[in-house]
């Protein structure tokens, strides 16, 4: 096996509350952490992964040292990128792209689709009305996902995004999925009311409530 699981006793004995004792199997090793300033990492010589380029296998990672600046303000981070104080960011939003192209045309960028979500709105599927799969399907069909994507300036994002993300090699393209799955993403505002009307009589009126949780 080319990787390992760190068990709780190992973490607890070492004292995981101290950054210097963090362990793992990733490509980098903690070098330094300055609160409010930066974190730095050095190359892990025992990293398990490799990559193949033009038929030649190379050990990863290629970079010997990485410094991650801690910049909370987005405008400050973008200014640091434009002036060359930092080399890379993944936090730029689509709304910033035109401005960056105009003011710093020499910047290079790459569009990619990851394998994790940055945020979700979850519906309570153990309570009415969303405990009924037909209601959930109707909500999906009646939601103009592409309009949301346009508002977020993310029109190039493949649909669906969840549960298997576009960057995941196990993902099956929408056009190859069964018809009853494809229809979920074929926006049709006239279909859902017909479906919901057949079951709405048994659902008690309720005010929608959104409860937000954030990871520490």
Same domain, 145 and 82: no
Establish if 110 belongs to a structural domain.
Answer: no
For the ranges 77-81, 87-91, 133-137, the one whose mean pLDDT is highest: 77-81
Residue 119 within a domain: no
Residues 94 and 175 in one domain: no
Q: Are 104 and 82 in contact (CB under 8 A)?
A: yes
CB-facing half-sphere around the CA of 107: CA atoms within 13 A: 25
Pairing of strands 65-69, 38-43: antiparallel
Pair 68, 138 in one domain: no
- 18 and 79 in a single domain? The answer is yes
Would you place residue 215 in the very low, low, confident or very high pLDDT band (cuts 50, 70, 90)? Answer: very low
Instruction: Let me know if residue 24 belongs to a domain.
Output: yes
Number of Cβ within 10 Å of residue 69's Cβ equals 14
| Whole-number average pLDDT of the chain | 80
Please give the C-alpha separations between residue 49 and each of 115, 120, 121, in angstroms, as whole numbers: 18, 31, 34
Report the percent of the chain where pLDDT is more than 70: 75
DSSP 8-state code for residue 154: -
pLDDT of residue 106: 93
- Domain holding 138, by residue range, is 133-202
Residue 140 sits in the same domain as residue 76 = no
Inside any domain, residue 211: no
Domain membership of residue 37 (yes or no) is yes
Q: Rounded CA gap, 155 and 30, in Å?
A: 37
The CATH number of the domain holding residue 67 is 3.40.190.10
Same domain as 152, residue 95:
no
The structure's pTM equals 0.59
- Model confidence band, residue 1 (pLDDT cutoffs 50, 70, 90): very low
Count of structural domains within the chain = 2
Above 90 in pLDDT, residue 129?
Answer: no
pLDDT score for 54? 96
Number of H helices and number of E strands within the chain?
7, 5
């Amino acid at each position: 096996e080319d990787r390992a699981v760190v068990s709780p006793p190992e973490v607890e004995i070492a004292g995981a509350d101290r950054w210097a004792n963090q362990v793992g199997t990733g490509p980098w090793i903690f070098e330094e952490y300055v609160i409010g300033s930066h974190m730095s990492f050095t190359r892990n010589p025992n990293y398990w992964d490799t990559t193949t380029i033009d038929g030649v296998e190379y050990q990863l990672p290629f970079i010997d040292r990485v410094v991650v600046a801690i910049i909370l303000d987005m405008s400050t981070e973008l200014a640091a990128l434009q002036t060359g104080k930092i080399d890379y960011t993944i936090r730029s939003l689509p709304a910033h792209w035109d401005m960056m192209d105009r003011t710093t045309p020499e910047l290079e960028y790459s569009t990619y689709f990851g394998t994790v979500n940055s945020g979700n709105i979850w519906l309570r599927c153990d309570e009415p009305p969303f405990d009924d799969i037909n209601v959930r399907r109707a909500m999906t069909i009646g939601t103009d996902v592409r309009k949301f994507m346009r508002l977020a300036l993310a029109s190039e994002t493949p649909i669906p995004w969840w549960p298997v993300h576009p960057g995941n090699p196990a993902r099956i393209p929408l056009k190859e999925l069964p018809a009853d799955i494809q229809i979920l993403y074929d926006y049709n505002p006239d279909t859902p009311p017909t479906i919901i009307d057949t079951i709405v009589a048994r659902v008690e009126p309720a005010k929608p409530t959104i409860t937000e949780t954030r990871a520490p």
